[in-house]
Amino acid sequence: MENISDKIQKIRSEYGDKALVPEDLNSDPIQQFESWLADAIEVEASEPNAMAISTVDTENKPRSRYVLFKNIVNDSLVFHTHYESSKAKEINNNPNVSGIFFWPEIYRQIRFEGVASIADSKVSDEYFKSRPRGGQLSAWASHQSEEIEGREILEERIKELEKEFEGKEIPRPEFWGGYLIDVHHWEFWQGRKNRTHDRFSYSKVDTEWKTVRLSP
Ligand SMILES: Cc1cc2nc3c(=O)[nH]c(=O)nc-3n(C[C@H](O)[C@H](O)[C@H](O)COP(=O)(O)O)c2cc1C
């Protein structure tokens, strides 16, 4: 059987050749992000709002995982999770996070760096209400990031909760909700032919955004 190195060597994607020029960039990176996300949704990119978020643990070891970007509130990016999960403990200890979106369908990547904080309960309640009942129950049932002996424990817990909440609105558990990421650095990457990609970063200087082109 062909080994993985040989398989990888055969992969050689070209990244289109759509130019990203300074004139196309919105002076506000949040609007630029919104416009690129809208493009990704338009082309039906797979999981367009999935973003990888990196945190550091108490020993400064970086850890990454995907979460779903759900909203923009006060110019901050919102995602939701368990407030006792590993990521939440890491954010509590060090709120500096970085994140990344990748939309291969349009050869675009967005990176960002910012500071995370717990969202207002209104933001979390609003989103929790919009979740399908199954997602609401699993938020209650899961001790996210903790070791669990078997899947049946989770399934049993969900069955119990289904009975408990039968015919009732499911409230948001206090241990589950949103985080806001206040982004102070963004980078927009447009893949180009022969790896001559276009990259622009935005850094916040006082209250202004400074934009520069970066070498690919
Ligand atoms: C596409 C995708 C989206 C995800 N979205 C979320 C999310 O919005 N919130 C969440 O807590 N976990 C989400 N997860 C699961 C996380 O990646 C992760 O397994 C979980 O949050 C536990 O991470 P932690 O132990 O570092 O806290 C998602 C996973 C994938 C693959």
Which one has a higher pLDDT value, 17 or 117? 117
109 found inside a domain = yes
The three-point CA angle 143-117-174 to 5° equals 40
- Asked whether the predicted pLDDT for residue 2 surpasses 90, the reply is no
Q: Dihedral through CA 202, CA 12, CA 64, CA 141, nearest 10?
A: 120
Report the percentage of the chain scoring pLDDT > 90: 94
Does residue 203 lie in a domain region? yes
How far away, in angstroms, is 10 Cα from ligand 1 center?
31
Flag whether pLDDT at 92 surpasses 90: yes
- 11 belongs to a structural domain: no
**Confidence bin at 17 (pLDDT 50/70/90):** confident
What is the distance in A from the centroid of ligand 1 to the CA of 80?
9
If you take atom 18 of ligand 1, which residue's CA is the nearest one? 65
What local confidence, expressed as pLDDT, does residue 147 receive? 97
Quote the strand ranges of the chain, DSSP E. Answer: 50-56, 62-68, 71-73, 76-82, 96-103, 108-118, 176-190, 198-205, 208-214
Q: How confident is the model at residue 91 (pLDDT cuts 50, 70, 90)?
A: very high
Distance CA 47, CA 149 (A): 30
Ligand 1 surroundings by CB, under 6 angstroms: 47, 50, 63, 65-68, 79-82, 85-87, 144-145
In this structure, which residue's CA is closest to atom 4 in ligand 1?
A: 67
* pLDDT band of 15, cuts 50, 70, 90: confident
Q: Residue of the nearest CA to atom 22 in ligand 1?
A: 145
Instruction: State how many domains the chain has.
Output: 1
**Residue 166 has what pLDDT?**
97
In a domain, 137, yes or no: no
Q: For 52-87, write each residue's pLDDT tens digit.
A: 999 999 999 999 999 999 999 999 999 999 999 999
Is 73 part of any domain? yes
If one residue of 67, 80, 118, 138 were mutated to test the ligand 1 pocket, choosing by the most ligand atoms within 8 A of its CB, it would be 67
Residue 107 lies inside a defined structural domain of this protein: yes
Phi then psi dihedrals of residue 49, to 5 deg: -100, 15
Ligand 1 atom closest to 50 (CA)? 1
Among the residue ranges 4-8, 35-39, 91-95, 207-211, the one predicted with the least confidence is 4-8
Is 99 inside any structural domain? yes
Distance between Cα 65 and ligand 1 center (Å): 6
Q: Is residue 71 part of a domain?
A: yes
Averaged pLDDT, 83-92: 98
The answer on pLDDT for 1 being more than 80 is no
For residues 26-40, average pLDDT: 98
Question: In the chain, pLDDT over 70 holds for what percent of residues?
Answer: 100
Q: Which domain holds residue 116?
A: 16-130+176-214
- The CATH number of the domain where 205 resides is what? 2.30.110.10
Q: Which of 55, 66, 100 to mutate to test the pocket of ligand 1 (most atoms within 8 A of CB)?
A: 66
* 18 alpha carbon – ligand 1 mean position (Å): 32
Q: Is the pTM of this model over 0.85?
A: yes
For ligand 1, the distance from its centroid to the CA atom of residue 69, given in whole angstroms, is 11
Flag whether pLDDT at 179 surpasses 80.
Answer: yes
What does DSSP say about strands 108-118 and 96-103: parallel, antiparallel, or unpaired? Answer: antiparallel
Separation of CA 64 and ligand 1 centre (Å) = 10
